[in-house]
Amino acid sequence: MLSPVALLHWFLPSILMVLMLVKDHVALVTGSGRGIGRAIAQLFAKEGAAVFLTARTEKELFSTTAEISRNGGRAGYVTADLSREGDCTSVVAAAGEKFGKIDILVNNAGHYGPVVPVEEYPLAEFDSVIAVHLRAAFLLSKLVLPEMYARGSGVILNMSSLSAKAAYSWGSAYAAATAGMLGLTRVTAAEGARKGVRVNAICPGPVT
């Protein structure tokens, strides 16, 4: 099992290329109250980016932004349930209001869902896992891309998973959502490449 910090070191070479460029940029990081998203927000802030955080749990968002501010970084947050279209719109509007623009979107929010076989998987739970991973990544990308294209620059990083590439039993919605994110990433990357926007996905294994 890798810790979030160990994960970042694993991806250090590619992340360093980004970090050298993040100073004075604005990053919207979803699912950033805890876990991997929190580590990404902290590292981006340390490297000089203004970070805008979002998730459902205000206490975690408050403590992460407070910690970033105490360390001299710039951070803001808004609570949102990203499985709702209206909340996705509000998050992008709130980030723009706070920092004026979004240079980097990290679609990290997610949850694994029930650990049950396909035939027992409740449809509502299936929809909810797809909504927070795949649908929110699509909606947020749709919302930030027009301004990125107008500026001729921007980065979208989609958090997928090894589950997108290999069969782990009892996680059908998660596997479908994270595999869908790879398809979304490829298409958005192809569309964005000629307009100055880089779109990547990463596929971590288990992270504590």
Ligand X SMILES: NC(=O)c1ccc[n+]([C@@H]2O[C@H](COP(=O)([O-])OP(=O)(O)OC[C@H]3O[C@@H](n4cnc5c(N)ncnc54)[C@H](OP(=O)(O)O)[C@@H]3O)[C@@H](O)[C@H]2O)c1
Give the integer Cα–Cα distance in Å for 179 and 55.
22
Q: Applying CB under 6 A, which of residues 26, 49, 78, 83 lies at the interface with ligand X?
A: 83
Shortest distance (Å) from residue 178 CB to ligand X: 7
207 sits near ligand X (criterion: CB under 6 A) = yes
Length of the chain: 208
The answer to whether the CB of 26 falls within 8 A of the CB of 95 is: yes
186 token code pair: 């490829």
The answer to whether the CB of 89 falls within 8 A of the CB of 96 is: no
Give the integer Cα–Cα distance in Å for 207 and 186.
24
132 sits near ligand X (criterion: CB under 6 A) = yes
Q: Applying CB under 6 A, which of residues 15, 27, 43, 82 lies at the interface with ligand X?
A: 82
Dihedral of the alpha carbons of 100, 103, 107, 109, in degrees to the nearest 10: -40
Shortest distance (Å) from residue 1 CB to ligand X: 8
140 sits near ligand X (criterion: CB under 6 A) = no
Known catalytic membership, residue 174: yes
Q: Applying CB under 6 A, which of residues 15, 22, 27, 36 lies at the interface with ligand X?
A: 36
Question: What is the contact surface with ligand X in residues (CB under 6 A)?
Answer: 31, 33-37, 55-57, 60, 80-83, 108-111, 132, 159, 161, 204, 206-207
